[in-house]
Amino acid sequence: MCRIAPNFLTIRGMRGRVRIDAQGRGAEGKGAWIIAGNDVTVENVEIFNTRVADKNGAALRIEGSNFTLKNSFLHDNENGVLTGASPTSRIVIENSEFGHNGDGSGQTHNVYVGDVASLTFRFNFSHDANIGHNLKSRARINTIIYNRFSSLAPGEKGSTAAGRPSFEIDLPNAGAAYVMGNIIEQPADNDNNTLLAYGNEASGANDMLYVMNNTFLNDDKRNGVFVRVHERVKARAHIQNNIFAGKGIITNQAGAVDKHNYAAMEVDFVDRANYVLVPTENAKIINAGAEPPMLPSGVALRPIMQYKHPASGMQRPAVGALDIGAYQAVIVEKSKKSWYEGLLK
């Protein structure tokens, strides 16, 4: 347990991922590693079992600015990553797994990013938060691309125990948010029927929500809201080229742009049980996507990658027109090995 103060530091696990068992403790009552320096990168570590007196302990507590996390596994802590507020800080999290973090109160999460300039969250696997959210971010700009958010069924074997998450993604301060190319699954056993929440606590002049080419799955047979936009948010959400599988409304925002989405109680995928969510032949999905808008900011909303399990990515095949959903279909003979075998759970 330690405080890490130097700036421009890279901490990298060598000869395999380094495993750090916090043994129910945390430095300074905050976390396993307190990152106090600026421009710090952490790579290839596994940290678990962090606990502190106020039940807000994090595997990585970020107090400096401009932090990057790569190729790591944070699980069974009170928080996975917890950052402070720093309006100039840029947070990048990629190729990492977060599982079963949270103390069970709903106030602690797999990843909790405070009021920072930007969060880039890509090629990650965040799952089974313990009552909290799989991702919560107050960043002013959120780029959430090519990730998988999901949970085990109770009793199912995985890298952690099954969790009971609230929101899969929570963006309570609204702001600019680009959510593209993700698998976003709400398990049947959940603590809230919303998958993506936006603006629950604040809104502002820079609000814009783009939800593009994701595959949403709601395993709760009772009800659900796939994209919930708080009534305080005046900007119209732009929701395009997504698959919405399961029971629920696409969004509660009456004025949202709802364009070229496909919603059904059941959707045929190559291997749903193993999250190979490549669509089978369906004219309403394959080649049915619409070209995304061109933004003055230059942010590209056409997916060029897709999630590969675990916590990785691959090029989205350049075949045909744009498909709806997080994956581009490549129809092959079932008897032959295919490109999508690499997506298996």
- For the chain, 345 residues long, give each residue's pLDDT as a single digit of tens: 899 999 999 999 999 999 999 999 999 999 999 999 999 999 999 999 999 999 999 999 999 999 999 999 999 999 999 999 999 999 999 999 999 999 999 999 999 999 999 999 999 999 999 999 999 999 999 999 999 999 998 888 999 999 999 999 999 999 999 999 999 999 999 999 999 999 999 999 999 999 999 999 999 998 999 999 999 999 999 999 999 999 999 999 999 999 999 999 999 999 998 899 999 999 999 999 999 999 999 999 999 999 999 999 999 999 889 999 999 998 655 544 455 666 754
Decide if 190 is inside a domain: yes
Give the residues across from 239 on adjacent strands.
211, 258
Residue ranges in 139-294 assigned as alpha helix (H):
none
Residue 318 resides in a domain: no
Write down the residue that tokens 């990629």 correspond to.
94
Residues of the domain holding 208? 85-261
Q: Cβ(151)–Cβ(176) under 8 Å?
A: no
Closest CA to 83 of 124, 117, 128, 54: 117
Report the Cα–Cα distance between both ends of the chain, in Å, rounded. 33
Is residue 155 included in any domain, yes or no?
A: yes
Question: Reduced to 3 states, what is the DSSP secondary structure of residue 326?
Answer: coil
pLDDT of residue 332: 53
C-alpha 216/C-alpha 222 separation (Å) is 16
Cα–Cα distance, 25 to 29 (Å, whole number)? 8
4 is a domain residue = no
Per-residue confidence (pLDDT) for residue 339, from 0 to 100: 56
Burial of 260 (0-12, 13-18, 19+ CB in 10 A): middle
134 belongs to a structural domain: yes
What would the two tokens of residue 179 be? 């959510």
Instruction: Please tell me the predicted confidence (pLDDT) of residue 336.
Output: 44
pLDDT of residue 132: 97
SS3 325: coil
Distance of alpha carbon 72 from the chain centroid:
15
| Alpha-carbon distances, residue 11 vs 27, 33, 48, 211 (angstroms) | 18, 11, 17, 34
Tokens 């045929």 correspond to: 268
Nearest alpha carbon to residue 229 among 212, 254, 205: 254
Q: State how far the Cα of 120 lies from the Cα of 141, in Å rounded to an integer.
A: 8
Residue 6 lies in a domain: no
Report yes or no on 330 lying in a domain.
no
List beta partners, residue 197. 170, 228
Q: Which of 270, 263, 179, 178 is nearest to 218 (CA)?
A: 263
Q: Which residue type does 261 have? A: N
Structural domain count of the chain: 1
Rounded to whole angstroms, the Cα distance separating 114 from 173 reads 10
pTM check: above 0.85: yes
Q: Residue 279 falls within a domain, yes or no?
A: no
Three-class secondary structure of residue 274 per DSSP:
helix
